[in-house]
Structure 1
Amino acid sequence: MTPFLRSPPFPNVDPAVAAVSLPVDGRAAHGVTDAALDQLRVARVGGCFWGARPDPVRRLVRVGTPLDARVFVEMDSDQIGLLPGQGAAHVGGRMLPADCDPWHMIEGAQAIHAGAEDDWSLIAGLMGVPVIGADGVAVEPARLHALLRARLTAAQYRDPFSGAPINVSQAIAQLADWRRHLDGNRGLSAASGMAFWKREAIRAFLWDGERSPPFVSARRGLRKAQREGGALAVWPSRVPAAIVAQAEAEGIPVARVEDGFLRSRGLGAALHPPGSIVVDRSGIYYNALGPNDLEKLLATQDFSPALVERAARLRARICASGVTKYGAQGVGLPALPKGRRTVLAVGQVDDDLSVRLGGAGVVGNLDFLQRVRRAEPDAFILYRPHPDVQAGHRKGHLTDAAALAHADAIDSGGSLMELVQAVDAVHVLSSLTGFEALIRGCAVTVHGMPFYAGWGLTHDVAPPSPRRGRQRTIDALVAAALILYPRYLDPVTRLPCGPEVMVERLANGSTPPVTWLIRVRAMQGKLRRFMTLAAEFFHG
């Protein structure tokens, strides 16, 4: 018998790898509690939950089920949904796809006509929708619940990322995570601005259970979204602002896609594909000038104790493993003076959107360093350039003389997180380093307005945002920023995963191999870096 808890048919993933449940002979050793059924009802998983969502109907009929035709006399055929089955259809209606979301269709229906053991009937029993059997009599909910328990115990469950055995509650939780991921992708008509070397990963990230949005030019994507009544997914830095403005003026939804806060080892500028992205329907996390989905999560939602506890465990694992956005770095710390306050000033890319939209008026690394010195006149300031700038990929380079006019030393090779924990305070503009420092319990002063500022966790130099101001714990911040907001793609199985899996993969070095594109990009960066240093030498 086909298991009730089934995995979506993820593209380019072996179904045996994705499977969370396998049939067994007889009954498995585990039982199914009322709490598990409640969990299933809330998660809305089971059956083809990833499928199409046709327009709702009043009655659902499994083809081949005997019917009392009088029930349907006053109903239009488009109000009757026919589910594929064996035998003849005893009533006219609209034939539904074989794989469509039963939870969506049953939710709006008055009743379903099908056998009591049908997947759709079992779901209807959970949702309180009447099930009319072949004898024309409504099936008792208690019987439907008993049949569902039997189906759930007629399977064994596995963790798709490790292959280890799990219980039915853990299997439901995994499918619920996948449902949340896929539901977040629905309605994307097209994708624009994604670099060609990212597209394979982005295609997997944006699959909605049926399809991934096609990659087209921004203008074609705009027209396609308009025709279909869907949204246009864009990579903000690679799509003309005029196109986004036009979409918003015409009422076409825009979903902004960016790297998440945990990514595969290596820099995006060096063509390492992302292991995490965010898809933001109301803005983007680094734009402090307007709202975004992450800010709304932090400002409006109350997180359950279970979610906050999960965030605390995740934070502890991140700290223990040493995982950061930029992966492994060099070892060794610079000499820091004893008996004097030490401050780490973290540089950024001058033209980065997070600086332009979340910098609160700070203009580039030199301006930032000057402000840090004014705020910390007696401290020993260690300046850390951004790695993309150091690699020669992005703007923001300061000569040693310019940096040392305000800082006491420059460091560019040691472990950033070890350094963060070795100093007395960290100063950032809008860098993600400030968030990673907070996770590790460090004091952080923020000169811009990044997503983690304004919640009572940082010393904020910039004026507060009226959309923020709610006091949040560090674990609530982690729950929003690392669990609810991003999507992750396991580099081993290529399945959507949770942050816990990604942290384990990063900690164990399980990442995609270095490609020829990455090698070429690294050579380009070294050449730019050499030319910059040569220009400094010849021009003093």
Structure 2
Amino acid sequence: MIAPRPLLRVPPFPGARVNDVAVRGRGGAQASPAACVRALRQHRVGGSFWAAQPALDPDRRLVARPASAVQAEAMLERARAEKTEHKLLFWLPAALSWRPTRSSVPCVNDPCDPWHMLAHAEMLWADAADEAMLIARIAGGAVTPFGAGPYAIGTAEALVARHVVAGLTYIDPFEGDESDALATIELLGGWRRLIDSNRAIGAAVGFARWKRETVEPLLWNGSDRVRFVPANPAILSELAPGESLAIWKARVPEAFLAAAEAAPNDLHEVEDGFIRSIGLGANCVPPLSVVVDPVGVHYDPSRPSALENLLEHATFDAATRDQAARLRVAIRLSGLSKYEIGSGALPRPGGARRHILVPGQVEDDRSVRAGGGTVAGNLDLLRRVRALNPDAFILYKPHPDVESGHRAGRIAEAETLSLADLIVRDAAMSQLLDMVDDVHVLTSLAGFEALLRDKPVTTHGVPFYAGWGLTEDLGDVPARRTRRRSVDDLIAAVLIAYPRYLDPLTLLPCSPEVLVRRLAGGARRQNEAIVSWRRLQGALRRTFSRIGATA
């Protein structure tokens, strides 16, 4: 007899390179069966929990799950005899092609999320060897087993001890280390929340082809490949009621954006995450982290966002704050920033003078246009910082996308040095943040990274981290932001609760800690030919720009 598949399984994320988290054989680390039952009920994982969640008739709460056509006929006859046929709904395995004759009883075919089906059921009739029977007993639902099988009798705790804990070794899919059932349930629970948050996404627009491999697993709805489509207004009429559109707004025409915002379907705005990659998006290095915001976008202070709502309303428990504190240490020790990694202490070129870092930005970036307020670009930012700090040693670091030649925001060197003491091009952002005394930003993520390193930050625009009591704010911070937060609260929201991360090795969605370890170890995910070509394009643009400036 073939042993049944382990209950705890990896969803088939697009492109994923790991298939199993449980191996039959010797039992590995033992988790408490009672704790596992509680965790399974909380996270609703086990079986094909990622599968479709079909609409179900609210009057048909007697769910029948036959293993064969003979068993299906027996179930139908029993319902007729008990006069419950009007309540019956058949939930059929994918391999069973049976259909009821002389009956209007509806059928739903796998693949289906078993937890969705069982939440609908007031009673489950199922074969005693069917995984659905095991899940129903774990969930505490009313069941009637048909035939003989391993799940015919037993309490939830006893069945979990026998079929989930004993005789299985669990493996951490990211590190390959031995794990246990409880930790695996927690991991699957995170994947369940990710997949459930994507179920409404009907299409995705504005995603460059080179981004799709790493973004698709983070937008996958558990059933279908992500439908990447061109920014054609016709797609808006193809979305069903209740479906949403995932959109990378910077990559779509204004006319389409206006039509999408006027359409009845919700928009889920996608942007790079805050721990992105080693390498620039402008060089076509795909993101390993994104944010998906159904409320607004985090860098636009004119309207709320899911991140702002988290910071204003969420309560983080002690475990999450501890996780945030550990993550902060890991990031600092790794020398990681959004696009790069650096290590080693830098000398202080200004001696005993107070050192202030001013990070440049892409001047036509949506975050600058939305949150830059009255500051008229990088040169104006430098003027303001110098006016406030006439005696400081000011270091100006141009934005890497501007330096690469792909984006707007370049300042002539002579103009820069009339306000700044030093232009820093080669040092990593993390090294600079460790060396300087203060950081002045427009809306740059460098201000958030400085807070992770306990540096004083002055904001001249309105970035997402302004207004929570952690920064000196010179911009017009929205009155909505009233909560006072600690740095670890900020990390819990910004790096743990809000973004999504992809492991570049397994192509599985992962925790921020896994991605930090991967990037610190040099792991990358990019098409070297495309990246090299974009770097060459940038070098040519820089050359022509210098020629034009001196002509």
The TM-score normalised by the length of structure 2 is 0.90
1:203 Cα shift?
2.6
What amino acid is aligned across from residue 106 of structure 1 in structure 2? L
- The alignment status of 1:160 with 2:163, answered yes or no, reads no
For 1:236, the equivalent position in structure 2 comes to 249
Which region of structure 1 is more displaced relative to structure 2, 157-166 or 147-156? 147-156
Tell me the residue number matched to 1:340: 353
- Check conservation: 1:331, 1:413, Cα contact below 8 A: no
Contact 1:426 1:434 in 2 (8 A): yes
Partner of 2:160: 148
Partner of 2:90: 81
**Which residue identity lines up with residue 89 of structure 2 in the other structure?**
I
Residue number in structure 1 paired with 2:38: 38
Map 1:33-182; keep pairs closer than 5 Å. Answer: 33-56=33-56, 57-63=60-66, 64=71, 67=75, 68-69=78-79, 73-76=83-86, 80-84=89-93, 93-115=105-127, 118-134=130-146, 143-153=155-165, 154-182=167-195
Change (3 A) 1:197 1:31: closer
- Amino acid of the structure 2 residue aligned with 1:307: T
Deviation at 1:228, TM superposition (A): 5.5
- Please list, as runs of the form range in 1=range in 2, the aligned pairs for 1:24-423 lying within 5 A after superposition: 24=25, 28=28, 30-56=30-56, 57-63=60-66, 64=71, 67=75, 68-69=78-79, 73-76=83-86, 80-84=89-93, 93-115=105-127, 118-134=130-146, 143-153=155-165, 154-220=167-233, 222-227=235-240, 229-328=242-341, 333=346, 335-423=348-436
% identical aligned pairs: 43
Shift of the 55–180 alpha-carbon distance from structure 1 to 2, 3 Å rule, reads same
The counterpart of 1:10, out of the listed 9, 13, 24, is 13
Q: What CA deviation, in whole Å up to 9, does each residue of 1:48-67 have, x standing for no partner?
A: 10000011351211112754
Contact kept in structure 1, 2:301 and 2:477, CA below 8 Å: no
Distance 1:144 1:70, change over 3 A: farther
Match of 1:256, SS?
strand
1:480 and 2:493 matched: yes
Contact residue 245 and residue 265 of structure 2 kept, 8 A: yes
Once the two structures are overlaid, the 10-residue window that deviates more, 489-498 or 61-70, is 61-70
Distance 1:196 1:107 in 2: 39
* One-letter amino acid of the counterpart of residue 489, structure 1: L
Could you tell me how far apart the structure 2 residues matched to 1:155 and 1:385 are? 54
Higher mean C-alpha displacement, 237-246 vs 38-47: 237-246
| Gapped regions of structure 1 (runs ≥ 5) | none
**What secondary structure sits across from 2:290 in the alignment?**
strand
CA distance in 2, matches of 1:181, 1:346: 33
Q: Is structure 2 residue 538 aligned with structure 1 residue 528?
A: no
Deviation per residue, 1:67-98 (Å, 9 max, x gap): 43258635536x51323287978886332222
Distance 1:347 1:114 in 2: 63
CA distance, structure 1, for counterparts of residue 82 and residue 513 of structure 2: 51
Secondary structure of the residue aligned to 2:232 is helix
**Tell me, what secondary structure is at the counterpart of 1:219?**
coil
The AA in structure 1 aligned to 2:472 is H
Report deviation, 1:334. Answer: 5.9
In structure 2, what residue type is equivalent to 1:11? P
How does the TM-score come out when normalised to structure 1?
A: 0.92
Distance 1:313 1:116, change over 3 A: farther
Question: Bigger shift: 339-348 or 423-432?
Answer: 339-348
Alignment CA distance shift 1:39-1:514 (3 Å) = same
Shift, 1:142, TM fit: 6.2
1:505 partner letter: R
Output the amino acid matched with 1:339: A
Provide the secondary structure at the position in 2 that maps to 1:465.
Answer: coil
Q: Is the 8 A contact 2:31 2:180 kept in 1?
A: no
Aligned counterparts of 1:19 and 1:361: Cα–Cα separation in 2: 54
- Per the alignment, residue 440 of structure 1 pairs with 453
- Residues of 1 paired with 2:120 and 2:198: CA distance? 22
Q: For 1:204 and 1:88, locate their aligned partners in 2 and report how far apart those are by CA, in whole Å.
A: 34
Is contact 1:391–1:529 with CA below 8 Å preserved after alignment?
A: yes
Q: Does residue 424 of the first structure (1) align with residue 437 of the second (2)?
A: yes
Root-mean-square deviation over aligned CA pairs: 2.5
